Amino acid sequence: MQNVIEKCTEIANQIRIDVIKMTYATGNAGAHIGGGLSMVEIMAVLYGEVMKLNPDQPQWEERDRFILSKGHGSLTMYAAMKHRGFINDSMLETYKKNETELYGHPSMNTSLGIEFSSGSLGQGLSLGVGTCLALRRKENTSSRVFVLMGDGECNEGSVWEAALAASHYRLDRLVAIIDKNGLQYDGTTNCVLNMEPFVNKWEAFGFQTIEVDGHNVEALYSAMQTYPKHGKPLAIIANTVKGKGISYMENNPKYHNARLSQKDYENAMVELGV
């Protein structure tokens, strides 16, 4: 376990550095850096240790599937994919530039291991349900389907319709991970639409639910290794901090979607020890 923790922690540190570099390189276009930083440890554990993937065979039938429902966090997904070997540094540098394959929201590209297009919030869990049902029809009993969502998008009714379907069809290969950073575009999630008690809601919709510190790689790893009993889908509520890792970005709505000045960039690099 100690090796896993050290490995995922190191991957998370490098992902954070890549996210800052990618955002700065976009110039005035900017990026969704706040929510990208809140999901770093989640992605480090998923791509670094948990998911069964093969970069040399990105369409391997027995692979696990990943759906980034909060598609605006794509820059963190791309950085994690780099560390798994799906893309390289040169490709990462093309993020949001002309002729890129790494858009501001993911565009399906199975040759790169991008399973689904996303960006319209509230849709990812439905994709996860459909994917699990398709795998069941193919008699694939080894692949799991991981869906990373934001807490703000859980305002949408489509999320809860999908949750009902997941429970009804007993999709115990489905893992919904909610990046619960408490902020969305219009303000704090509790002010926009209070979803508390959040854990109880997922349990009421038939999910086995685990609440963790979303920046604790050991807790995340243990939660993702859980295989629910009685045909239940799994929901992991990951309590996170928007802008995590850069002091002046943490819980700062300004960095929901922002460009970085040279001073911002240099200060962030100092804080990350670069």
User: Which domains does the chain show, CATH number per domain?
Assistant: 2-271 (3.40.50.970)
DSSP structure string for 10-36: HHHHHHHHHHHHHHHHTGGG-B-HHHH
- Asked whether the beta carbons of 183 and 214 are under 8 A apart, the reply is no
Q: Is 181 helix (H, G, I), strand (E, B) or coil?
A: coil
* Closest C-alpha to 54, from 111, 15, 94: 111
d(CA 90, CA 72): 21
* Per-residue pLDDT, 152: 96
Strands 187-188 and 183-184: antiparallel
- Asked whether the beta carbons of 129 and 64 are under 8 A apart, the reply is no
* Per-residue pLDDT, 175: 98
pLDDT, one tens digit for every residue, the chain (274 residues) = 889 999 999 999 999 999 999 999 999 999 999 999 999 999 999 999 999 999 999 999 999 999 999 999 999 999 999 999 999 999 999 999 999 999 999 999 999 999 999 989 999 999 999 999 999 999 999 999 999 999 999 999 999 999 999 999 999 999 999 999 999 988 999 999 999 999 999 999 999 999 999 999 999 999 999 988 789 999 999 999 999 999 999 999 999 999 999 999 999 999 999 8
* Per-residue pLDDT, 1: 83
